[in-house]
């Protein structure tokens, strides 16, 4: 078995959700779930098929985000993983909806940070072992950091 680290390529302002599913219609169901939850969100989804032709399947309502999802899914090439890239919304807006899609098995992360995926290759297939989401902690929050965090949440509309 070989281990590799795959860096997810994306613009800094783009958020993503990385997860695992189990069925060929994942792309269609995730697409419908996002559109029904946050209709104005721009997104692209790609899903790595893991049987038969084992193709990367993609959908979305934004050409660039869909192309980005396809490119990163091919880099991962891990059975039954999916990746969603989004703008004009945040993962928190759709995360519970995504988790409730029947074929979704789990979520590895939801982030706008730099993302690295630890992948195992058995020679027959590839799988995700885990993720590195962002950077190492630099210290503990101070009172001014708390104020800055709350200000940012207000800017996003999540705190009064």
pLDDT tens per residue across span 17-29? 999 999 888 999 9
Burial class for 160, CB neighbours closer than 10 Å (0-12, 13-18, 19+)? exposed
- What is the tens place of the pLDDT at every residue in 83-123? 999 999 999 999 999 999 999 999 999 999 999 999 999 99
Tell me, what's the pLDDT at 98?
98
CA-to-CA distance for 90 and 109, rounded, in angstroms? Answer: 13
Tell me, what's the pLDDT at 18?
98
Residues 6+ apart with CB under 8 A from 48: 54, 56, 73, 76, 77, 78, 79, 80, 81, 82
Average pLDDT, the chain: 94
Tell me, what's the pLDDT at 156?
81
Q: Which of 92, 122, 121 has its CA nearest to residue 107?
A: 92
Reading the block at residue 19, the tokens are 């997860």
Residues 6+ apart with CB under 8 A from 67: 44
Domains of the chain: 2-156 (3.40.1520.10)
The model scores a pTM over 0.85: yes
Tell me, what's the pLDDT at 152?
87
CB atoms within 10 A of CB 56: 20
């Amino acid at each position: 078995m070989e281990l590799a680290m795959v860096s997810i390529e994306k613009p800094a302002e783009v958020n993503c959700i990385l997860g695992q599913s189990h069925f060929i219609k994942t792309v269609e169901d995730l697409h419908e779930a996002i559109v029904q939850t946050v209709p104005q969100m721009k997104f692209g989804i790609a899903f790595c098929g893991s049987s038969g032709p084992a193709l990367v399947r993609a959908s979305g309502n934004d050409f660039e985000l869909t192309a980005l999802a396809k490119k990163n899914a091919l880099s991962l090439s891990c059975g039954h993983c999916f990746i969603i890239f989004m703008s004009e919304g945040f993962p928190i807006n759709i995360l519970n909806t995504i988790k409730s899609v029947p074929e979704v098995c789990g979520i590895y992360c939801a982030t706008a940070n730099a993302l690295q995926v630890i992948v195992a290759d058995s020679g027959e297939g590839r799988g995700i072992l885990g993720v590195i989401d962002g950077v190492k902690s630099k210290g503990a929050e101070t009172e001014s950091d708390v104020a800055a965090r709350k200000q940012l949440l207000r800017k996003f509309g999540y705190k009064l």
